[in-house]
Structure 1
Amino acid sequence: MSLLERLNQDMKQALKSKDKEKLSVIRMVKASLQNEALKLGKGDLSEEEELTVLSRELKQRKDSLQEFKDAGREDLAEKQVREIEIIESYMPSQLSEDELDEIVKETISELGATSKKDMGKVMSAVMPKVKGKADGSQVNQLVQKHLS
């Protein structure tokens, strides 16, 4: 089942169960997917393009969550947490710390990276491998740890 089909099915379910919050998030994600398709001039997005959109939506919410926490707005922070949970349910399963660590080590040895100067090269090689399956900041920390 494609992401769009899952979103449509879950949207119907949310309408029936009167889950306004989930319905709102699903509609925002669907709109983002449709906007991306229009921007790229395509009818349907590939799985990777859908993943990119979901990752972007997730990152926006995580950034907002941090800002709300910093501002002491717990009510808005809780809303963001719930939205993050809903979006994460559509993401592929996340890599474990060990799996991610192994991918980073392999990439560093493939590229022959030795210092922090190679950080950008390593990051640009690792990120496509873990797209949607790991958080970029987590990857960044692991790359820094291995290159120091």
Structure 2
Amino acid sequence: MSDIRETFYVGHTSDGSLKKRPMSPHLQVYKPIPSMTLSILNRVTGAALSFGSAIMVAWLASAAKGPKSFKKVQKLTGSFPGQLVLFGFSVSFFLHFIRGIRHLVWDSTAKRLEKEEINKDSKIDIISITALTLGLWTIIIGKRLRKKKK
């Protein structure tokens, strides 16, 4: 073996003889396409949603604890960094939600599985995620502005 890394790609066949496994190229070798990027982001947003859910539990727990505790958490989530975290949580939610629907369609119908369709649908996913996130935040900011006018 000319490269030490090759030792990690040696396996055994069912009769016990050694077999060289193929080495996969690194992600940097591939040209990023929308479906690949969204697939990676779907996994990342799954982890982000776990973190965001913990924040939501803390928010609910502070409400149960009393008005003083709730006011502190509201102040934190109302700050600029808090709003950025909530914005990121909403993007994560909508991305994971839209991609989940896409997988349900794939699993239940076995349609839209050709490369061209997948890449076209990925662009539709991006538009949907953007529209839903901006729509939600337009409503949130609009309510705040109306509240300030009063």
TM-score, length-normalised on structure 2?
0.33
Q: Select the structure of larger CA radius of gyration.
A: 2
TM-score, length-normalised on structure 1?
0.34
